[in-house]
Every structure is written in C-alpha cells, then in structure tokens.
Amino acid sequence: MTVQELVQRFPEIPRDLHAEPLLAQFAETLGDFLRVAQNPSNCAAQYEASHHYYLKLIGPLKLYMYGLSSREKVLQQLQELLNRHHTDPTGFAATLVPAGTSA
C-alpha cells in the first residue's frame, strides 16, 4: 500500500503526517492489515479482526487528529509498530487481535 492509498482510505490521518517518510514505511510494511482495517461502529457489540486492526494501527493517528496525542508520540508509536513487525511478523499479527476474535 502506498501512503497515498493509506490517506485516501483513512482521511482521518492528519495532513501534516502525509509527507512523513515513517508514514510511507508504515503503509508499505503493514499494507495487508491496513487494507482490511475498518473503523468499528459506535454501537458494535463485538469487534471483528478488521476492527482490531483499525484500533491498533490507525487509532494512534486518530488520537493525534483529535489533539489527544503529540506528533512525536504518534511517530514513536508508528516506529514501535514497525519494529515489532520487523522483529516477528507472525507474532506481530497475533498481537493485533485478542484470542477468539472472528475473522
């Protein structure tokens, strides 16, 4: 996934991050998860895997959009996600969803 595809899919990503090289790396590396990530509805009783992907991967960016996090903190969180994926891609995928979550 390119950064352009990412920001088109998730317009909640703040504009000041669009040209950030780390966001491009995030999109490229985690594109498979981001392609299926979906923002859960406010009234959802149970979350599917796609909802957990959104909450874990896009959630920090959304908090920054609302001013509830700093630019530095969100970039650090993205870097941590990338580091965890790089260290153990299979294990990383397992950390995105709680056990027993439907696909």
What pLDDT, on the 0 to 100 scale, is given for residue 41?
84
Q: For residue 43, tell me if it sits in a domain.
A: no
pLDDT in tens, 56-84: 999 999 999 999 999 999 999 999 999 99
Q: What is the signed CA dihedral for 94, 96, 98, 99, rounded to 10 degrees?
A: -20
Contact assessment for residue 36 and residue 69, using Cβ atoms and an 8 Å cutoff: no
Mean pLDDT of 26-34: 97
| Residue where the block lists tokens 């996090």 | 69
> pTM score, two decimals?
0.90
Q: For residue 42, tell me if it sits in a domain.
A: no
Look up the domain containing 58 and give its range: 3-37+48-96
Mean pLDDT of 8-30: 97
pLDDT in tens, 89-99: 989 988 998 77
Q: Which residues contact 60 (CB under 8 A, 6 or more apart)?
A: 69, 73, 74, 77, 78
The count of domains in the chain is 1
Q: 3-class SS at 69?
A: coil
